[in-house]
């Protein structure tokens, strides 16, 4: 308890000490204060006729535009669908954006190793390799080399990637904790963990990864059929300064987003001292908000649509999930919480990392949660 109080106090003291210099800097440099950031809803995994989807890129983009998404990444298998004409037709400033992407689709025996490259500059060929870890890493590296942001897809599809393998991957921040395709085994089974359980295993091992929810939509011509990969099942909302590819990618890689299967949040706030979540409630639903730490342990539960958790300092990491009474969910990204980390985040603040508050600094940290 003493350690908790002192680490929290220390962070507050350091932040207080720094308010002067940061305020002064604000006169010269445009500040990305929270009030200027907006939430943008999008999907980062979608197929068209350019691979195994059933619809033209135009029809696919139209579906998301008409369903009030803000952005869409087209990710055909080993193919970079051109987005310029689509953007000219459907794009609108601060309203809708099409981003190019690719699902780099590799194999290892019977296993399918798929890694999305978001906003990738050129087509990336599957890189192959000697093992699952080697193949994932080579593809992640190849995507980075072309300026893209990697995210590792559906680990339980053909039971391809284990948590022990995922936690060895470097230079990758994102992996799917929900995929809308009906045969990707999100829930696990037969002794294999589900994706959320995998996430806690990875986080508990000291590897900081953010969980993304996607459609992996292939089928637009059979609406309402749960046995095909239709659109609208998994999405994210990214907090960013502008609706442009760079701002969104930056937000994603800092974990400034939540993942959802239908629960919308009004706000998420993470500071050096705690995390607060507020659901946008719907008329007939009830909600449960859980704050989760090391090993997947539930640290605190709330039965109201808004809840706050105060960091103690020994949680390792803290994330939140929201369960809605009809089975829909949302997941708030983890932050590393330990006394040492608060120190590190404060030091980053000291050396001009930018915004006030612990959020960005905590999330930028590569430091491991405590075992």
Residues lying near Zn ion in the complex (CB under 5 A) are found at 103, 114, 153, 216
DSSP annotation of 96 reads B
Of 220 and 317, the one with the shorter C-beta distance to Zn ion is 220
Q: Quote the least distance from Cβ 223 to Zn ion, whole Å.
A: 19
Of 142 and 362, the one with the shorter C-beta distance to Zn ion is 142
Q: Quote the least distance from Cβ 239 to Zn ion, whole Å.
A: 25
3-state secondary structure of 361: helix
* Residue 44, phi-psi category: left (phi > 0), alpha (psi -120 to 50), beta (remainder): alpha
Q: Quote the least distance from Cβ 262 to Zn ion, whole Å.
A: 20
Of 45 and 173, the one with the shorter C-beta distance to Zn ion is 45
Minimal CB distance to Zn ion: which residue? 114
Q: Quote the least distance from Cβ 116 to Zn ion, whole Å.
A: 8
Of 114 and 173, the one with the shorter C-beta distance to Zn ion is 114
Give Cβ neighbours of residue 367 (< 8 Å, ≥ 6 apart): 336, 338, 340, 341, 344
> How far is Cα 279 from Cα 258, in angstroms, rounded to an integer?
12
Q: Quote the least distance from Cβ 160 to Zn ion, whole Å.
A: 10
Per-residue buried b or exposed e for 333-349, using 16+ beta carbons within 10 Å of the residue's own CB: bbbbbbbebbebbbebb
Q: Quote the least distance from Cβ 136 to Zn ion, whole Å.
A: 13
> How far is Cα 66 from Cα 333, in angstroms, rounded to an integer?
28
In angstroms, what CA-CA distances link 298 with 15, 178, 268, 276?
A: 29, 20, 18, 15
């Amino acid at each position: 308890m003493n350690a908790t109080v002192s680490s929290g106090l220390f962070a507050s003291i350091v932040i207080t000490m720094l308010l002067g210099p940061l305020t002064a800097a604000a006169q010269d440099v445009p500040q990305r204060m929270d009030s200027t950031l907006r939430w943008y809803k999008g999907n980062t995994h979608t197929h068209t006729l350019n691979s195994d989807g059933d619809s033209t890129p135009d029809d696919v983009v139209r579906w998301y535009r008409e369903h009030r998404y803000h952005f869409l990444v087209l990710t055909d298998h080993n193919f970079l669908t051109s987005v310029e004409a689509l953007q000219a037709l459907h794009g609108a400033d601060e309203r809708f954006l099409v981003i190019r992407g690719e699902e780099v689709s590799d194999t290892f025996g019977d296993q399918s190793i798929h890694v999305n490259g978001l906003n990738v500059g050129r087509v990336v060929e599957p890189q192959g390799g000697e093992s699952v870890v080697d193949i994932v890493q080579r593809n992640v590296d190849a995507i980075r080399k072309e300026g893209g942001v990697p995210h590792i897809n559906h680990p339980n599809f053909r039971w391809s990637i284990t948590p022990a393998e995922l936690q060895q991957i470097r230079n990758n921040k994102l992996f799917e904790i929900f995929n809308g395709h009906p045969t990707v085994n999100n829930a696990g089974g037969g002794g294999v963990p589900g994706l959320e359980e995998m996430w806690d295993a990875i986080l508990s091992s000291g590897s900081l990864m953010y969980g993304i929810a996607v459609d992996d939509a292939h089928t637009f011509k059979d609406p309402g059929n749960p046995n095909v990969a239709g659109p609208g099942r998994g999405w994210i909302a990214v907090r960013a300064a502008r609706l442009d590819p760079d701002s969104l990618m930056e937000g994603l890689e800092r974990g400034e987003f939540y993942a959802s299967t239908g629960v919308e949040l009004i706000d998420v706030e993470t500071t050096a001292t705690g995390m607060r979540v507020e659901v946008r409630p719907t008329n007939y639903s009830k909600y449960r908000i859980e704050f989760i730490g090391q090993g997947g342990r539930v640290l605190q539960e709330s039965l109201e649509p808004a809840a706050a958790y105060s960091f103690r300092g020994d949680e390792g990491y803290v994330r939140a999930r929201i369960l809605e009474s009809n089975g829909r969910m949302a997941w708030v990204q983890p932050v590393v919480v330990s006394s040492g980390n608060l120190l590190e985040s404060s030091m980053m603040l000291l050396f001009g990392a930018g915004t006030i508050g612990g959020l960005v600094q905590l999330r930028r940290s590569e430091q491991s949660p405590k075992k």
